[in-house]
Amino acid sequence: MWSNVLYIDLDTGEHTIRDRADLFDKYLGGTGVATQLLLEECPVGVDPLSPQAPIIISIGPLTALLPCASKAVSMFKSPLTNELGESHVGGRLAMAMRFAGYDSIVIKGRSDKPSYLSIHDEEVKVKDAASIWDVSSIEVTGQILRNVEPGKGRRSIMRIGEGGVNQVRYANVNVDTYRHFGRLGLGAVFGSKNLKAMVISGTEEIEIPDMSAFKKMYNKLYNSVVDTDVMDKYHDLGTAANINVLNQLKGLPTKNLKQSHFENAESLSGEYFADNLLFRKIACSNCPIGCIHIATLKTQFHKGHEFEFRHISYDYELIYALGTNLGITLAEDVLRLIDRCERYSLDVLSVGGVLAWATEAYERDLINPSDTLGIALRWGDTDKYLKALDQIVKMPNKFYQALAKGTAVAAAEYGGEDYAINLAGVEIAGYHTGPASIIGQIVGVRHSHLDNGGYSIDQKASSQQLTEEKMVDKIIYEDYWRMVNNSLVCCLFARGVYSEQIMIDSLASVGIIKTRDELEALGKEIFLAKYQFKKQEGFDLSRIKVPSRFYETVSQLGKVTPETIDNMLTLYREKTGV
């Protein structure tokens, strides 16, 4: 139905458009097609920051058509983990790609000078970005590009800040101000290619083969989202509602996972943010939910009554990473830290992880003031964390160079691996709920809590009798079916709406006929293809080491034992063949 792939060579500035129906007919789009393109385009063993390493962005067959089908998928080799890099984003990007007529974009090479990509329908140009290369503010870069590029209303703007320019290994890519390709370092890959930004827009109309069937499906989904309570949580308090919930369950990582509850959680709760700081809620294109919560931060920039107001998006993961994980007690201080990460285009979860490890290492005298350049890292000291953040981006010495490569690298160089809170080299999401959460993030293709929702399996296990094997089976089921969801590409927040049958019916409404068995087999095939890439780049589940802190701190299900994790990993490998 849609199968255009735009190939861009930054070395020459040239581009080609190819019909890849061979991929889209089989793999639908999104993560399925992006995985195949990565296997085609990424040389085995390539440096993630070399010109030969590709950037791939893909959308799916439901993009810009059905409610909550609002995501784009990026695929690359991660400079943080040196294996599979995958990140998803909302905003307007998926819609803009659909209107421009591109279902996937493949970018290779390296520009010989600072550049940005301008894509408007079939007009594709590599433009000079010298004037914005050193602009540190994501907002200013976006404003400049909005003033010089066409496509208002059908346009998406991606850009990197100083963290990406300097190739911090967990730099992200800001998309449309409030969304991000957040994890695993795509911003560093942009920086390595001298690529400051991308602007995409288009004027294509979307043709539907059977408008009557499509309208019926659209209305059914819209009513499910708007007229039921399935999505209420995401619009009301947003995911920040999880702060109080997980704190009560003893599943909220605190102070580098020394604790699983935070005595000051109420002051960082979704309720507190909503009552005191919430400014507005916005939605991604083609989504009626409005889950993006934006707070107002009032700061004084000059003596006297001289203030500025910053608008900063927040959610549960950000509050955990730069709040409870660092012992921060004021919501306004969390916003200050988020804002600094936004300015630099850094992954907040990785920043929270490296700062938490560094704080404990400083506390234990593993590192000293000569390493930190005089910054005395202490739990809850926001000003010190802001100064450390500046140094991570500038990388003035060996210590900050190590922090810029992630927690696992820093701990390998300085010690403290037992409390370097990462799984498979990735700083964890905000869940310490039990064994399924740990296993889920280890085995997940992008080591994300959203790969398989292990944390929610732990929560089910708290009220149901789930054996280790049952938990593994549930993780595998989610691993496979989320590959299907992410090929469509639907927002995972709406996974309660897009059931197996709804996915089948949604595809049929745009002329794609698939059975349940076909989709299940496809999900498994995509999953195994990703593991093919992971293995060829050196990833090996049998060599994964879990820091002992995960076993020392009580979880929602009590203390997790190494024997449980080893047994579940063995079961997982036997059942999946990875």
The confidence score (pLDDT) of residue 303 equals 85
Cα 452 to Cα 457, 471, 547: the distances in Å are 9, 11, 21
- Lateral strand order in the sheet of 14-19: 14-19, 4-9, 104-108, 55-58, 72-77, 84-89
The confidence score (pLDDT) of residue 302 equals 85
8 A C-beta contact, residue 489 and residue 94: yes
Structural domains in the chain, CATH included, are 4-201 (3.60.9.10), 238-398 (1.10.569.10), 426-576 (1.10.599.10)
pLDDT in tens, 13-63: 999 999 999 999 999 999 999 999 999 999 999 999 999 999 999 999 999
The confidence score (pLDDT) of residue 72 equals 99
The confidence score (pLDDT) of residue 370 equals 98
pLDDT in tens, 119-168: 999 999 999 999 999 987 788 888 899 999 999 999 999 999 999 999 99
Burial 43-71 (b: 16+ CB within 10 A, else e): eeeeebbebebbbbbbbbbbbbbbbbbbb
Sign of torsion, CA 556 557 563 569? Answer: negative
The confidence score (pLDDT) of residue 514 equals 98
CA-wise closest residue to 393 among 336, 333, 341: 341
**Burial level of 516, CB count in 10 A (0-12/13-18/19+)?**
exposed
Low-confidence ranges of the chain (pLDDT < 70): none
Mean pLDDT of the chain: 97
pLDDT in tens, 237-261: 999 999 999 999 999 999 999 999 9
